[in-house]
Structure 1
């Protein structure tokens, strides 16, 4: 099964979901925009309307879509519009690009439940829209964290997200 999520920088989301049981592949790319096959340089300049996103290939017998979303909401800030920390722009927006009606229903129900429970101090602004295409990013983005763990961005921004997965979702973490 497939899920397409955007939670800011795709280096971060790729690194987190590569460490979830039942996930067989995580592909960094772009979704939610208005041109086909956008290059990274155009996306980050805000010219295409795309978000940095990941396509997750997963086994629903091992990890459910809802569990993936729970990890997603716990490892990024879904309450900030068009930004994640210092990363600012529409390409860093929080979004769920559903591939079927069940994914849409699950996403909307979880967002409602999280908002009602007060899990976040501000309302969730995550976009929920139909997947209209996913375009793989250039190869140098693939496995970015795994290949660059010594870089400051990886240590300061991505490591804490992985720690949240490992401590908050022990049953799902590899």
Structure 2
């Protein structure tokens, strides 16, 4: 099993998308890349902790290759937007990949290079070493499935889920 820690806007969208993929065994929404121990959602939202909303995606690379997990990441959000995704604004919504080890760092760099071939403009996604990953509060876990009629889920998350279902249909559960 492999685990990637990825930030690309609101973690609800990343969580919703990765849960639809064959080979993904766990998705945990959380916070990383900041300086305050054990941050809460409310504290992260103040933009004073340095944390990004992220997901820890655990998957079986024999079922879904590393490259597909990373290509999904670069398809589901706009890696050219600095410290935002759409109307979600702030460094907590930044595009960032948090690696463990040189092999993972190289995979992330290769994925960013592939993505630059089909995104016009400069990609601002950072690639940073993973420090501590803090799980988000329980109500953030699997938020889309628990709240399918919620406005944000309908307007923002669902179109991303549908985009990935269309673009990566052979990997959908």
Within the alignment, does 1:161 sit opposite 2:160 as a pair?
yes
Question: What are the ranges of 5 or more consecutive residues in structure 1 without an aligned counterpart?
Answer: none
**1:30-62 deviations in Å (ceiling 9; x for gaps):** 011112211111101111100000011111111
Which structure 2 residue ranges, 5 or more long, are not aligned? Answer: none
Q: Residues of 2 paired with 1:113 and 1:139: CA distance?
A: 34
Aligned residues: 172
Q: Superposition RMSD on alpha carbons, in Å?
A: 0.9
- Give the Cα separation in 2 of the matches to 1:49 and 1:21: 32
* Alpha-carbon distance between aligned partners in 2 of 1:161 and 1:98, rounded to the nearest angstrom: 24
**Whole-angstrom distance in 2 between the partners of 1:151 and 1:167:** 23
Is 1:122 the equivalent of 2:121? yes
Contact 2:74 2:115 in 1 (8 A): no
Q: Is the 8 A contact 1:65 1:103 kept in 2?
A: no
CA positional deviation for 1:113? 2.9
Say if 2:135 is the partner of 1:133.
Answer: no
1:110 shift after superposition: 2.1
CA displacement at 1:114 relative to structure 2: 2.6
Following the alignment from structure 2 to structure 1, what is the Cα–Cα distance between the partners of residues 60 and 99? 16
Q: How far apart are the structure 2 equivalents of 1:68 and 1:151?
A: 26
Q: Deviations over 1:102-143 (max 9, x none)?
A: 11111112212332x2x1121111010111110000111111
The TM-score with structure 2 as length reference comes to 0.96
